């Protein structure tokens, strides 16, 4: 086998490592988020809203690197669960604002333990998680958190 043949080995593929890692991350989060009544995508929506609420659907979708059409079903489900409300902006009727309810804000307290539990399940410490997250953020072309 030549060096060029090694380039096509499954174990040498970035895409395979990324897909496998993504699947593993989701399997780590699933049992941690289940008692909170959240799926991983819903957790991401809630994280963005805990940072800033209300915010427009377009802003939320952009923050999550989703199309608004993909974010909308997540928002509708979280609204049905009583964690947020969708309302037309008073300043611009075309804009749909998403805001946390009291229950949505209260859920944040229960979610505070999620990162620690993820680190326990993965065996990674805070420094390792930060280094991995920053490398992936650079790869994705996003700005590093400060």
For 86-123, the pLDDT digits (tens) are: 988 777 777 889 999 999 999 999 999 999 999 999 99
Q: What whole-number distance in Å separates Cα of residue 81 and Cα of residue 132? A: 33
Residue 76 inside a domain? The answer is yes
**For residue 52, pLDDT beyond 80:** yes
Residue 146 inside a domain? The answer is no
Region 12-16 average pLDDT: 90
Residue 37 inside a domain? The answer is yes
Q: Is 25 in contact with 31 (CB distance < 8 Å)?
A: no
CATH at 69: 1.10.10.10
Q: What whole-number distance in Å separates Cα of residue 8 and Cα of residue 120? A: 35
- Find where tokens 């994705």 sit: 140
Residue 2 inside a domain? The answer is no
Residue 4 inside a domain? The answer is no
Domain of residue 49: give its range: 11-138
**For residue 143, pLDDT beyond 60:** no
Q: What whole-number distance in Å separates Cα of residue 120 and Cα of residue 90? A: 45
Q: What whole-number distance in Å separates Cα of residue 17 and Cα of residue 144? A: 22
Residue 126 inside a domain? The answer is yes
pLDDT computed for residue 29 by the predictor: 97
User: Into how many domains does the chain fold?
Assistant: 1
pLDDT computed for residue 93 by the predictor: 77
Residue 38 phi/psi, 5-degree rounding, is -120, 145
Residue 144 inside a domain? The answer is no
Q: What whole-number distance in Å separates Cα of residue 65 and Cα of residue 80? A: 23
Mean pLDDT for the chain?
91
Per DSSP, the three-state class of 103 is helix
pLDDT computed for residue 92 by the predictor: 77
Percent of all residues in the chain with a pLDDT value above 90, rounded to a whole number: 73
Residue 121 inside a domain? The answer is yes
């Amino acid at each position: 086998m030549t060096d060029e043949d090694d380039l096509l080995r499954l174990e040498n593929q970035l895409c395979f490592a990324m897909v496998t890692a993504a699947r593993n991350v989701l399997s780590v989060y699933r049992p941690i988020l289940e008692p909170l009544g959240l799926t991983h995508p819903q957790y991401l929506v809630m994280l963005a809203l805990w940072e800033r609420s209300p915010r427009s659907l377009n802003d939320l979708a952009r923050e999550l690197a989703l199309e608004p059409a993909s974010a909308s079903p997540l928002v509708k489900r979280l609204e049905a669960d009583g964690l947020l409300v969708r309302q037309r902006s008073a300043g611009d009727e075309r804009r749909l604002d998403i805001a946390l309810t009291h229950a949505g804000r209260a859920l944040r307290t229960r979610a505070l333990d999620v990162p620690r539990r993820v680190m326990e399940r993965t065996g990674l410490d805070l420094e390792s998680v930060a280094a991995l997250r920053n490398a992936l953020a650079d790869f994705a072309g996003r700005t590093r958190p400060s």
